[in-house]
Structure 1
Amino acid sequence: MTTLQLPAPIVSVDWLSKNLEHPDLIILDASIKKVTSSKEIVNQDLQIPGARFFDIKKSFSDQDSLLPNMLPSKDIFEKNCRELGVNVDSKIVIYDTIGIYSSPRAWWMFTVMGHTAVAVLDGGYPEWMKNKLPTENKETTGIYPLGNIKINDRSKCTVDAQNILFEMNNTNSIILDARSYGRYKGIDPEPRTDLTGGHIPNSLSLPYTRVLHNTKMLSTEKLIAIFLDFDIENKKLIFSCGSGITACIILLAAKLAGYTNLFIYDGSWSEWGQLDGVPIEC
């Protein structure tokens, strides 16, 4: 059998269905509940055949941090990936049950940790179901042959609040906020009631919903057009949101549009919105 090659950072359900049986393929379900929605995850007892649960909230977040969804250490990431059976030569496709929501966060974590043979499933589980592709009952044991993935070092692809204090006034950097415009302006309440409303000074609003159509990513041509609305050519791009989840959606969109100098503010508004003494605009 030929070596499996991922065609892009995002793949179609048609591509995945054709390669479902390839031995190099690992499918990860990175679903989480949407923080701004009360809807239950649909078809929560079913999954794409062979999928393994990538638990963002527990196994793949820093459990010692008071902030949600913070990037775990490389050792924890490596250990938990090995327990999922991920190998050095694994080709990984990640989906979620909303469409494109939390799967880009898992994709970004792998790229930060140095494993770049990873892609997001365009449209996720809803698109898989829409195309009437095969499903199976979810795996209950979660026990797999131990993988051998090796994480050498965490890439410097994140910024913290101290960096933001500098970068927000740096003309060579742009901060893009993936939250809704209402939350960005402080008009709509934050889902976490202990947070102040508003946005980081000089940051720009790019709600993650702008880069999506229903459950799928917009075409590359449309993404390029969206980013051309911002003066970001040759600049450092920093992506923020509520808790580091949807920032990864617009980072993935920027990558698909051809941008490369990409960073996540991992604490995002969960940190900035409760810090004392930092500037906030509405």
Structure 2
Amino acid sequence: MSDDPKTLVSTDWLANHLKDPDLRVLDASWYLPDAGRDARAEYHAAHVPGARFFDIDEISDARSDLPHMAPPVEKFMSRMRRMGVGDGHQIVVYDGAGLLSAPRVWWLFKLMGHRDVAVLDGGFPKWQAEGRPTEDLAPVVKDRHLTVRYQNQLVRDVTQVSQASKLGTTQIVDARAAARFRGDAPEPREGLRAGHIPGARNVPFNTLLNTDQTMKSPDQLRTVFEGAGVDLSAPVITSCGSGITAAILGLALERIGHDRWSLYDGSWAEWGMFPTVPVATGDA
């Protein structure tokens, strides 16, 4: 793969830069409750040397009833200061599934205006499989200021998505599994209707990944999107169950040079709960 410190870097790249003074590595592991995994406990057992743990559920908007919504700017800044992550840092984010939740944190940094951030391709499983170094002690951190320049265009709310669905001017692309998209499988969160946003296309996030959880090549990614009926000349809103895997779609779009995309933060956790917005079932 071609390393790009603004989107995706290889384990080789990270190994070569691990001692860079301005590198900050973040473990952004996150799992659905039924996965039976404890991300923080796994971090304390073993992580990439120097990595800090980024708690997606805690570094979120506590005022919202929806899961892990993007945090207010002030909260993000204070948490990053405490983690010693700030201006002038090249950030690399990884997760323990390979490539699942790290892109969400990549998107969060982009949302806050920090561009020098990349996802580790293949994540911690690939790093460990290659016999690379790990440690079990959290690093000593020094406060660092992070300047935020909030990028409104990277996030969408239910009103904006509803309008896009009605007008059809922006493609909505859903990262959930096909059975959930069609409405054939129940949602993992209680109280949600089954189906998808009218007019949405379905690109299950795992169709963008290789078997080792690395991301497919840009040409392959383009083929997957086009095969799902996504118009890559139009702007895109990505969606999923709760705003996590939607960011994988965003990362893939960025890899193929499509930068007119935004993420529906509430995703199906919000849309499926709202009684006033329509739901479609079956294929797109």
Same fold (TM over 0.5): yes
The answer to whether the 8 Å contact 1:113/1:155 transfers is no
- Unmatched 5+ stretches in structure 1: none
User: Helix, strand or coil: the match of 1:137?
Assistant: coil
Structure 1 position 193, deviation (Å): 1.7
| CA RMSD across the alignment | 1.7
Change (3 A) 1:231 1:136: closer
Identity of aligned residues (%): 38
Q: Which residue of 2 aligns with 1:107?
A: 106
User: Helix, strand or coil: the match of 1:184?
Assistant: helix
Q: Which residue of 2 aligns with 1:47?
A: 47
Q: Distance in 2 between matches of 1:231 and 1:28?
A: 32
Q: Structure 1: which amino acid aligns with 2:218?
A: T
The answer to whether the 8 Å contact 2:112/2:148 transfers is yes
Q: Which residue of 2 aligns with 1:179?
A: 176
The within-5 A match list for 1:61-80 is: 61-80=60-79
Q: Which moved more, 1:38-47 or 1:254-263?
A: 38-47
Decide which of 148, 154, 159 is 2:145's aligned counterpart. 148
Structure 1 position 211, deviation (Å): 0.3
Q: Distance in 1 between matches of 2:20 and 2:217?
A: 27
Deviations 1:163-189 (A, max 9, x none): 122101223210000000011111111
Structure 1 position 277, deviation (Å): 2.0
Q: Which residue of 2 aligns with 1:201?
A: 198
The answer to whether the 8 Å contact 2:203/2:224 transfers is no
Structure 1 position 43, deviation (Å): 5.1
Change (3 A) 1:231 1:6: closer
Q: Distance in 2 between matches of 1:39 and 1:170?
A: 41
Change (3 A) 1:195 1:160: same
Q: Distance in 2 between matches of 1:43 and 1:56?
A: 15
Q: Which residue of 1 aligns with 2:9?
A: 11
The answer to whether the 8 Å contact 1:35/1:191 transfers is no
The answer to whether the 8 Å contact 1:8/1:119 transfers is yes
The within-5 A match list for 1:1-282 is: 7-35=5-33, 37-38=35-36, 44=43, 45-58=45-58, 60-139=59-138, 144-214=141-211, 215-229=213-227, 230-282=229-281
Structure 1 position 99, deviation (Å): 0.5
Deviations 1:86-106 (A, max 9, x none): 121000000000010110000
Bigger proportion of residues as helix: 2
Compute the TM-score of the two structures, normalised by the length of structure 1.
Answer: 0.93
Q: Structure 2: which amino acid aligns with 1:134?
A: P
The answer to whether the 8 Å contact 2:29/2:94 transfers is yes
Change (3 A) 1:39 1:145: closer
The answer to whether the 8 Å contact 1:107/1:118 transfers is yes
Compute the TM-score of the two structures, normalised by the length of structure 2.
Answer: 0.92
Structure 1 position 6, deviation (Å): 5.3
